[in-house]
């Protein structure tokens, strides 16, 4: 079967006096917004015809590896305990947990009253809600304070839109109203009310409504509208741990605005505005706000303190409580009883730490009694989960590493004792068979870029091994060195698996993020290439023997580095890939474009930004040269990275590349940015990707 060839239809644009011709602009169907809502009514039948031809070609090309794909599916499934349940979380009189049953795609939400040995109450079975639906994405959820009602959000198309409903836990039935077109951000306000953020035409959210759950949306009350000057910003809600204050957050790529209101008031007042990448998060303790911020250049963050009383929020009233400590980047703060718990990252080691501070022992911030919790492993992920009760003195920590499944510890804040209470059971897996290393690749500008490396013990490092390298590097999202069982299907076949913690994420602190955005974006791509060169220089692998993977902005990474150094890679898997960068963020009509200008630059108003983005935009830098085998995965209902970006990329690559290597577009016709929602379909997708990788290296 011959690969589909998309017709060329020249579409000309001129920006800053520079003429560009896009031969595949026509693949953006005029009805694309209907796709986001789940209506696949194409305006141009030729667009659907081309996508279907690509999917058929994908099936034909992978047919010879169907047995390998099925083997991989069995392997991944064998490392999942199909009948399993989570460690319970106590909320009020109830212990909440989720169960999974063999043959079912979704979790079953359960609780027990009084003790862990009490009778089970199934209060929400996601499998029943998803019956007959191609896609069911279960979103944010939570009970009210007295545990009588359960609010939840869901989506059926793969878009960012969420519908919110409330279930009466005494009857087991939903109330007779729903709130459609929400961003998914909502909070309980006491026992009888919800705050809900409504989407606007941009999808970023504009209004917050207060809903009396017994009266429903017919009598919803508008309590906050986003000011016009902040129209391009995303709107969300949070609250302090003691539930005494609610916050409204407005965020874009470099600006952050916080409003606050007491629990007895629905009047949100502006607390602080941060520009030029300054942010604020609030906690409350004994009448004061504690503000985690990087203002005044403190990019490893500090904690400031000011009176919580309205009218006392001015910066002149802010006092330093925890000063910035270089290379110890603070990420969050939490108050429990008389303790302050601080999550931070050791930037040099790129390891998580938790610091517990006794507020009662304090004479001054410099004399604060504190203790630090970390783990001895070379690479791991440590997260503070806390407790539902803000007066608790025993709180939860979640830990995992590349070879250690999710482990729950209970931390006694009074004594400092750390007690392991649970570890997830992973069948057919023995972590002692593998080695985990943290190495640092020297970037071309001298920076030390962390690499997390996993391989079988005893593997000969002689340059003969295949490697799999994963990367992202955008929006300040660091890549966790946590546990994921599927990757061992590659590692057990002799692959070296590596995570490249490149600039653009916050893996080494906030400055690491800033050094990979806007006019520093090339650092992201150069770091990834330099990490791969490090693996070659250290004889982990060799040129042309490296598979690479990334999704969304990580898909941009895949496209950019492949254009820059195609000789390095043996194959590429790009998921929901943001590859048509210059066209997308030059189009102000796209709902998610405006906030992107503060992450990448604005090519509409700035010629310098236009030229810089054009220098790396994958779609604009495809060349007539040999490319490694490449798989582009996408979803037709994706509104974050629209389907036409990878579709156009594949069409252009196929027309220009000079090799016969496989090039596949895998377009899911009932999915969005997050991909499959069903457990077994998710395993199928992983098996398909890994089968493609093995095919590229002629491994069965």
What residues form DSSP beta bridges with 140? Answer: none
How distant, in Å, are the alpha carbons of 430, 553, 567, 654, 664 from that of 564?
A: 39, 17, 9, 17, 20
pLDDT digit string, tens, across residues 168-177: 999 999 999 9
pLDDT confidence bin for 362, thresholds 50/70/90: low
Does the pLDDT at position 527 exceed 80? yes
pLDDT digit string, tens, across residues 343-358: 999 999 999 999 999 9
pLDDT confidence bin for 201, thresholds 50/70/90: confident
pLDDT digit string, tens, across residues 585-631: 999 998 889 899 999 999 999 999 999 999 999 999 999 999 999 99
d(CA 467, CA 91): 45
DSSP H/E element including 66: helix 66-78
HEC assignment per residue over 136-199: CEEEEEEECCCCCEEEEEEECCCCCCEEEEEEECCCCEECCCCEEEEEEEEEEECCCEEEEEEC
Strand, coil or helix: 643: coil
Does the pLDDT at position 530 exceed 50? yes
Closest to 47 in 3D by CA, of 28, 68, 22: 28
pLDDT confidence bin for 363, thresholds 50/70/90: very low
Strand, coil or helix: 69: helix
d(CA 244, CA 282): 12
Count helices and strands in the chain by DSSP H and E runs: 13, 39
d(CA 437, CA 453): 5
Which position has the token pair 């930004």?
A: 609
The HSE-up count of residue 307 (CA atoms within 13 Å, CB side) is: 7
Arithmetic mean of pLDDT, 209-227: 97
pLDDT digit string, tens, across residues 456-509: 999 999 999 999 999 999 999 999 999 999 999 999 999 999 999 999 999 999
Does the pLDDT at position 415 exceed 90? yes
Whether the CB-CB separation of 77 and 33 falls below 8 Å is answered with: no
pLDDT confidence bin for 366, thresholds 50/70/90: very low
pLDDT value of residue 644 = 98
pLDDT confidence bin for 368, thresholds 50/70/90: low
Sign (positive or negative) of CA dihedral 516, 517, 521, 525: positive
244, burial (CB in 10 Å: exposed 0-12, middle 13-18, buried 19+): middle
Could you tell me the two tokens for 259? 């409003």
pLDDT confidence bin for 365, thresholds 50/70/90: very low
Arithmetic mean of pLDDT, 250-278: 95
pLDDT digit string, tens, across residues 236-256: 999 999 999 999 999 998 999
pLDDT value of residue 592 = 85
Does the pLDDT at position 364 exceed 60? no
Whether the CB-CB separation of 223 and 204 falls below 8 Å is answered with: no
Percent of the chain with pLDDT over 90: 96
Arithmetic mean of pLDDT, 196-207: 94
pLDDT digit string, tens, across residues 637-676: 999 999 999 999 999 999 999 999 999 999 999 999 988 8
Strand order in the sheet with 234-239: 234-239, 245-251, 256-262, 269-274
445, burial (CB in 10 Å: exposed 0-12, middle 13-18, buried 19+): exposed
Mean pLDDT score of the chain: 96
Strand, coil or helix: 78: helix
pLDDT digit string, tens, across residues 23-69: 999 999 999 999 998 999 999 999 999 999 999 999 999 999 999 99
Arithmetic mean of pLDDT, 414-440: 97
Could you tell me the two tokens for 11? 């579409």
Whether the CB-CB separation of 328 and 343 falls below 8 Å is answered with: no
pLDDT value of residue 253 = 83
Instruction: Please state whether beta strands 234-239 and 245-251 pair in parallel, antiparallel, or not at all (unpaired).
Output: antiparallel
Q: What is the pTM of this model?
A: 0.96
Strand, coil or helix: 512: helix
635, burial (CB in 10 Å: exposed 0-12, middle 13-18, buried 19+): buried
d(CA 236, CA 204): 9
Percentages helix, strand, coil for the chain (3-state, rounded to 5) are: 25, 35, 40
Q: Which residues contact 676 (CB under 8 A, 6 or more apart)?
A: 135, 668, 682, 684, 685
Compute how many other C-beta atoms are within 10 angstroms of the C-beta atom of residue 689: 20
Gap between the terminal Cα atoms of the chain = 23
């Amino acid at each position: 079967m011959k690969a589909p060839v998309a017709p060329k239809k020249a579409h000309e644009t001129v920006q800053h006096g520079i003429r560009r011709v896009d031969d595949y602009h026509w693949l953006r169907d005029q009805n694309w917004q209907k796709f986001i809502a789940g209506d696949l009514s194409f305006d141009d039948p030729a667009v659907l015809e081309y996508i279907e031809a690509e999917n058929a070609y994908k099936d034909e090309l992978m047919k010879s590896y169907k047995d390998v794909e099925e083997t991989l599916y069995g392997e991944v499934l064998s490392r999942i305990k199909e009948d399993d349940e989570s460690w319970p979380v106590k909320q009020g009189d109830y212990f909440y947990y989720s169960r999974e049953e063999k043959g079912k795609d979704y979790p079953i939400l359960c609780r027990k009253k009084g003790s862990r040995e009490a009778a089970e109450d199934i209060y929400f079975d996601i499998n029943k809600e998803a019956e007959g639906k191609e896609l069911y994405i279960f979103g944010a959820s939570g009970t009210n304070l007295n545990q009588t009602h359960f609010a939840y959000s869901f989506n059926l198309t793969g878009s960012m839109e969420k519908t919110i409903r409330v279930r009466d836990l005494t009857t087991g039935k939903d109330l007779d109203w729903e709130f459609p077109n929400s961003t998914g951000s909502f909070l309980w306000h006491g026992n009888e009310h919800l705050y809900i953020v409504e989407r606007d035409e941009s999808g970023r959210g504009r209004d917050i409504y207060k809903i009396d759950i017994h009266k429903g949306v017919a009598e919803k009350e508008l309590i906050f509208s986003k000011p016009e000057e902040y129209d391009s910003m995303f709107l969300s809600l949070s609250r302090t741990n003691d539930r005494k204050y609610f916050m409204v957050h407005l965020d874009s790529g470099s600006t952050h605005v916080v409003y606050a209101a007491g629990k007895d008031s629905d009047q949100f007042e502006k607390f602080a505005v941060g520009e030029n990448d300054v942010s604020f998060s609030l906690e409350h303790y004994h009448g004061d706000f504690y503000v985690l911020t990087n203002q005044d250049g403190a990019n490893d963050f500090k904690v400031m303190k000011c009176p919580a009383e309205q009218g006392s929020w001015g910066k002149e009233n802010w006092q330093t409580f925890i000063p910035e400590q270089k290379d110890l980047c603070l990420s969050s703060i939490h108050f429990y009883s008389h303790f302050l718990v601080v999550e931070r990252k050791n930037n040099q080691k790129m390891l998580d730490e938790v610091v517990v501070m006794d507020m009662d022992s304090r004479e001054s911030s410099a004399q604060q009694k504190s203790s630090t919790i970390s783990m001895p492993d070379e690479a791991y992920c440590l997260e503070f989960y806390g407790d539902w009760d803000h007066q608790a003195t025993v709180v939860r920590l979640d830990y995992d590493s590349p070879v250690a499944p999710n482990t729950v510890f209970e931390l006694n804040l009074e004594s400092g004792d750390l007690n392991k209470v649970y570890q997830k059971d992973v069948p057919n897996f023995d972590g002692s068979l593998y080695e985990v290393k943290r190495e640092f690749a020297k970037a071309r500008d001298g920076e030390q870029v962390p690499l997390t490396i996993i391989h079988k013990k005893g593997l000969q490092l002689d340059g003969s091994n295949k490697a799999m390298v994963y990367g992202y590097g955008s929006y300040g999202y660091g890549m966790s060195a946590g546990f994921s069982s599927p990757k061992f299907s590659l590692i057990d076949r002799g692959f070296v698996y590596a995570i490249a913690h490149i600039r653009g994420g916050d893996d080494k602190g906030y400055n690491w993020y800033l050094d990979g955005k806007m006019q520093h974006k090339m650092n992201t791509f150069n770091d990834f290439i330099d990490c791969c060169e490090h693996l070659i220089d250290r004889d982990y692998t060799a040129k042309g023997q490296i598979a690479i993977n990334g999704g969304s902005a990580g898909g941009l990474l895949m496209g950019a580095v492949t254009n820059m150094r195609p000789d390095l890679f043996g194959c590429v898997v790009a998921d929901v890939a943001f590859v048509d960068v210059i066209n997308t963020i030059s189009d102000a009509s796209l709902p998610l474009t405006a906030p992107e200008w503060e992450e990448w630059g604005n090519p509409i108003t700035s010629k310098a930004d236009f030229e810089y983005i054009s220098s790396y935009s994958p779609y604009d830098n495809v060349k007539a040269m040999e490319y490694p085998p490449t798989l582009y995965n996408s979803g037709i209902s994706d509104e974050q990275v629209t389907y036409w970006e990878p579709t156009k990329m594949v069409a252009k690559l196929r027309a220009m590349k000079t090799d016969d290597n496989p090039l596949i577009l895998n377009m899911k016709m009932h999915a969005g940015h997050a991909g499959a929602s069903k457990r077994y379909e998710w395993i199928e997708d992983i098996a398909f990707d890994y089968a493609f990788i093995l095919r590229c290296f002629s491994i069965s």
